[in-house]
Amino acid sequence: MPEAGPATTYSVALLEELVRLGVRDVVVCPGSRSQALSLAAAALERAGSLRLHVRIDERVAGFLALGLAVESGVPAAVIVTSGTAVANLHPAVLEAHHSGVPLLLLTADRPDELRGIRSNQTTHQAGIFGVAVRFTRDVSAPTGSGDERAAARTLAGLAVDAAVGVGPAGPGPVHLNLALREPLSTPLADLERVEPAGTPAAVTAKKITRPGILLDRAKRTVVIAGHGSGPVAEAVAHAGGWPLLSEVSSGARFGRNLVVAYRELLSDPEFGGRVERAVVYGHPTLSRQVPALLAREGVEVIVVAPTGDEVYNPGRRAAHIVGAVTVADGSIDRAWIGSWVQASRQISEDKSVDVAPDLEAAHSSDPATRLGYVKGEFDAIRAPIDRRMLALAVWGATWPHDRLVLGASRLIRDVDAAVPGKKIHVHSNRGLAGIDGTVSTALGIALASQVEGAGITRVLLGDLTLLHDAGALLGGEGERMPRIQVIVGNDGGGTIFDGLEVAESTEHADFDRVLYTPQRVDLAALAAAYGWTYLTATTRGELDQALTTPVTSGVLIEVPLER
């Protein structure tokens, strides 16, 4: 076989080094200019060096890679051709930037002589993602001269270090814009398996670049756990004996100090009005009450942000921005924590639609009493589904070996307001809280979590969030479909906008057309078109049955909801 050309040689060297540095997943979109990179990735998969995922839509591919990285903590690489293909990665890049998710963008480009002359599928790709990337390099087309393999390996090391957070900005996306000259690919001999040298150190250890702080117990304190906080927020709340106000995608939605009804209590002067100090982890986005508390005079705000230039700081009132919190020894104010937890439990009980079955009635000697018990149970099973019931049912069906992904719209707020504590894996794209790429992200999480593990991935989202990412349902021939349920609360449009003040003051027809955006898509036909199993649930019994039906591939569950 003749010697490989410069484009192929460079592509193989770059990808082999990425694999050696720990990268395991590569997402490819078809394209001519990127063919050397794509074919090298395919050859490395045949050798057992990496897992290859092929998608036709670059936006889908970007969010699929995001999901793979969210689950594994290791950057996934996405390969695209030139032109608009690169621009279609931008939504995923922004989400990765604001959420601190490691991502490698390998974009093919024209060589210098074809730039600036209106060459087909050519635009200004260098620097296209601006400040949203941790590192960017516009790489000249390889020529085959000198030791370009060594240059590729060096570049791979710089890219992985930047993506996993070697530096004060923390983890995030990296862009390598790779100029490639014809021949765009040449025959490639079978490649040997590349063994990873290990997981990058920055992935396995949480990097802290800011000093910590020691907090006393003298002030009435709450711990706020926003998206991505992780279990450390629960540990600090437990150590301090402080109420834990934990959003559902925080990774800290568990523990004896959890306060589910935090919105109501923050709005109550007897609770929220008495807070003297707030310790904030992660990125809170699901309520108006939290930023209002943090902007209030008299509340000392401690923001815990181990790395990153952008810090959650409403009103710019943070007294301290620190890398970690330690709680001083001392006694716990049990009246403070007890009042919050008990009040939250009472509010949750008052909202509950589930009544414990009367087991004595079930075994009563009175036929009428037994009949009443049976009728009550049937009525419960046949009860129509509302949002709270949907949230509790999906939460109850999900276990630690599963994954739960929540669309960034109304339903995540319904879940956050309803579900009790449980130590399970929950994700939502809350960096920019957009509905972009929700199904794609969930598929990436599912693929990564099911490489060696059990469980399924459930996605709970609204109808518009699904339709915005409907292309993600297309896996393609030869592509692995993980065990996944996409559960669609279908209320015919964007009902989250019904809560805006403008809904009360504008022309109803105008509001519906440009904000609610009603739709009547046949989701059963959509599922059939993409080869997914379709189920529908209109009652509690049907929903429980759908959620517990064995899953071997992709399942779309439609749950009609009232507006």
- List of residues 6+ apart from 298 with CB closer than 8 A: 276
The structure tokens 């630690």 sit at: 400
* Predicted local distance difference test score (pLDDT) of residue 359: 54
CA 151 to CA 138: how far, in whole Å? 13
Please report, for the chain, how many H helices and E strands are present, in that order: 20, 19
CA 143 to CA 9: how far, in whole Å? 10
H or E segment to which residue 422 belongs: none
* Predicted local distance difference test score (pLDDT) of residue 268: 97
Q: What predicted TM-score, i.e. pTM, was given to this entire model?
A: 0.93
6-187, CATH topology level: Rossmann fold (3.40.50)
* Predicted local distance difference test score (pLDDT) of residue 315: 84
Token pair listed for 261: 């009804």
CA 192 to CA 43: how far, in whole Å? 9
Token pair listed for 434: 């957009």
Terminal CA-CA length for the chain? 65
CA 273 to CA 265: how far, in whole Å? 9
* Predicted local distance difference test score (pLDDT) of residue 204: 45
CA 9 to CA 11: how far, in whole Å? 6
Within 10 A of 198 (CB to CB), how many other CB atoms are there? 11
CA 550 to CA 330: how far, in whole Å? 50
| CA–centroid distance for 423 within its chain | 17
CA 255 to CA 337: how far, in whole Å? 13
CATH 3.40.50.1220 in the chain: give the residue spans.
Answer: 213-349
- List of residues 6+ apart from 257 with CB closer than 8 A: 223, 234, 237, 238, 241, 242, 243, 244, 337, 341
CA 187 to CA 36: how far, in whole Å? 10
- Minimal CA–CA distance to 400: which of 473, 449, 471? 449
CA 463 to CA 145: how far, in whole Å? 54
Asked if 156 and 77 touch (Cβ cutoff 8 Å), the reply is: no
Asked if 218 and 239 touch (Cβ cutoff 8 Å), the reply is: no
Query: What is the residue-level pLDDT of the chain in tens, covering all 563 positions?
Result: 567 899 999 999 999 999 999 999 999 999 999 999 999 999 999 999 999 999 999 999 999 999 999 999 999 999 999 999 999 999 999 999 999 999 999 999 999 888 888 888 888 999 999 999 999 999 999 998 879 999 999 999 999 999 998 877 889 999 999 999 999 999 988 999 999 987 665 454 446 678 899 999 999 999 999 999 999 999 999 999 999 999 999 999 999 999 999 999 999 999 999 999 999 999 999 999 999 999 999 999 999 998 877 889 988 899 999 999 999 999 999 999 999 999 999 999 888 755 445 556 566 676 766 556 455 555 567 788 999 999 999 999 999 999 999 999 899 999 999 999 999 999 999 999 999 999 999 999 999 999 988 899 999 999 999 999 999 999 889 999 999 999 999 998 988 888 878 888 889 898 888 888 889 999 999 999 999 999 999 999 999 999 999 999 999 999 999 98
Query: Coil, strand, or helix at residue 283?
Result: strand
* Predicted local distance difference test score (pLDDT) of residue 116: 84
Which residue blocks in 180-288 are alpha helix, DSSP H? 201-204, 232-240, 262-266
Token pair listed for 59: 């936006």
Give the relative orientation of helices 6-20 and 148-164 as an angle to the nearest 10 degrees.
40
CA 103 to CA 376: how far, in whole Å? 52
**Degrees to nearest 5, angle at CA 485 with 484 and 490:** 150
* Predicted local distance difference test score (pLDDT) of residue 514: 87
CATH 3.40.50.970 in the chain: give the residue spans.
Answer: 6-187, 382-560
- Minimal CA–CA distance to 227: which of 98, 353, 48, 344? 98
* Predicted local distance difference test score (pLDDT) of residue 255: 97
Asked if 488 and 411 touch (Cβ cutoff 8 Å), the reply is: no
Asked if 79 and 55 touch (Cβ cutoff 8 Å), the reply is: no
Query: Coil, strand, or helix at residue 466?
Result: helix
Query: Coil, strand, or helix at residue 104?
Result: strand
Domain 213-349 carries which CATH code? 3.40.50.1220
Token pair listed for 246: 């934990």
CA contacts within 13 A on the Cβ side of 254: 13
Query: Coil, strand, or helix at residue 389?
Result: helix
- List of residues 6+ apart from 479 with CB closer than 8 A: 53, 54
- The superfamily (CATH) of domain 382-560 is Thiamin diphosphate (ThDP)-binding fold, Pyr/PP domains (3.40.50.970)
Within 10 A of 296 (CB to CB), how many other CB atoms are there? 16
CA 539 to CA 80: how far, in whole Å? 44
CA 78 to CA 62: how far, in whole Å? 7
CA 415 to CA 427: how far, in whole Å? 12
CA 219 to CA 198: how far, in whole Å? 45
The structure tokens 């609204």 sit at: 462
Which own/partner pairs from 327-330 qualify as long-range (CB within 8 Å, at least 24 positions apart)?
Answer: 327/214, 327/215, 327/217, 327/236, 327/239, 327/240, 328/214, 328/215, 328/216, 328/217, 330/216, 330/217
